[in-house]
Amino acid sequence: MSKILTIGEILVEIVATRRGNGFREAVPLIGPFPSGAPAIFIDQVGKLGQKCAIISRVGDDDFGWVNINRLTQDGVDVSGIDVLQHGTTGSAFVRYREDGGRAFVFNIRHSACGQIDLSDKSLALIDTCTHMHVMGTALYAPSVITSILTAVERIKAAGGTVSFDPNLRPEILDSPGMHEALQTVLSMTDLFMPSGEELFLFAEAKTEKDAVEELLARNIKAIVVKRGDKGASYYDDDTRIDLDSYRVEEVDPTGAGDCFGAAFVTFWLQGMNPAEVLRYANAAGARAVTRAGPMEGASTRAELDALIQAQGNG
């Protein structure tokens, strides 16, 4: 069985219960919810029963432990999470705008997960993994970038595979070294999973069809384009598959792309055919938006089967 690895931020998310433009006024909050795009991704992988691990750092505080406990409970190997006695776990405050967009306040730049470094123990953990999933959000600090590139190179050199979800946020796009790191990761990617317009940040072409062709010509084996409540598309050299989204009530969109990606990578590595893989991913993304909190909508295989059975093939 493959073992999937990711590296990157672990934090908690605290969510405003009323919509609005940000946090320049007092507003009722709920949380802390376990979070961080790589953490949400790997939690969903674990919940599907797939072997998986995360390398990260947290402070020795409740925000760190709420994450470690959840990931452990859902089957993730957490031996690569260092608990720093003198560090703090990061947080993100999120408020949904009236138009459905999100306003964030991040406190992660100086938190424990911004200082991820690879020890001999983490290098040994990397060598037990056969697939690396890179989240663009994780490429915001120089030591994390180095750690991710090392893992990607090591896993590829051993014959493993790499998936890449750019997951870019304007708040972190200007981080030093990020642009170069995104390009380096792309050059080693087997499975590329952008959301909508992100595709065009990596290709010269101006239409989706041309951009996909351009990227597939660069050794990428498959591309999956996520489209929020409009569903998703899959491309490889021979195939294009489009699925509408499942009809669900959206409560909280955070984590949809991470759960979608986790289900896609898990079933793709298990050798399922692309149409079925996309269907499971589409179901995982849809279920993710039905619960408040980014990781709370992660699904078991039985829950995905139930949605697919209830609504058909998407």
Site residues (CB under 6 A) for ligand ADP? 167, 195, 226-229, 231-232, 245-246, 248, 250, 253, 256-257, 260, 282, 285-286, 289
Q: Minimum distance from CB of 305 to ligand ADP (Å)?
A: 16
Q: Is the Cβ of residue 80 or residue 314 nearer to ligand ADP in the bound state?
A: 314
Report DSSP letters for 45-110, one per residue.
HHHTT-EEEEEEEEESSHHHHHHHHHHHHTT-B-TTEEEETT---EEEEEEE-TTS-EEEEEE-TT
Q: How many CB atoms lie within 10 A of CB 307?
A: 22
Q: Minimum distance from CB of 74 to ligand ADP (Å)?
A: 19
The answer to whether 227 touches 12, Cβ cutoff 8 Å, is no
Q: Is the Cβ of residue 125 or residue 199 nearer to ligand ADP in the bound state?
A: 199
Q: Minimum distance from CB of 210 to ligand ADP (Å)?
A: 21
Q: Minimum distance from CB of 243 to ligand ADP (Å)?
A: 7
- CB neighbour list of residue 25: distance below 8 Å, 6 or more residues apart: none
Q: Minimum distance from CB of 278 to ligand ADP (Å)?
A: 9
Q: Minimum distance from CB of 226 to ligand ADP (Å)?
A: 3
CA distance 95 to 93: 7
Q: Is the Cβ of residue 184 or residue 245 nearer to ligand ADP in the bound state?
A: 245
Q: Is the Cβ of residue 87 or residue 166 nearer to ligand ADP in the bound state?
A: 166
Q: Is the Cβ of residue 110 or residue 240 nearer to ligand ADP in the bound state?
A: 240
Q: Is the Cβ of residue 61 or residue 242 nearer to ligand ADP in the bound state?
A: 242
- CB neighbour list of residue 248: distance below 8 Å, 6 or more residues apart: 286, 287, 289, 290
Q: Helix H segments across the chain?
A: 37-47, 62-73, 120-126, 142-157, 178-187, 208-216, 256-269, 274-288, 301-311
Q: Which amino acid is at 267?
A: F
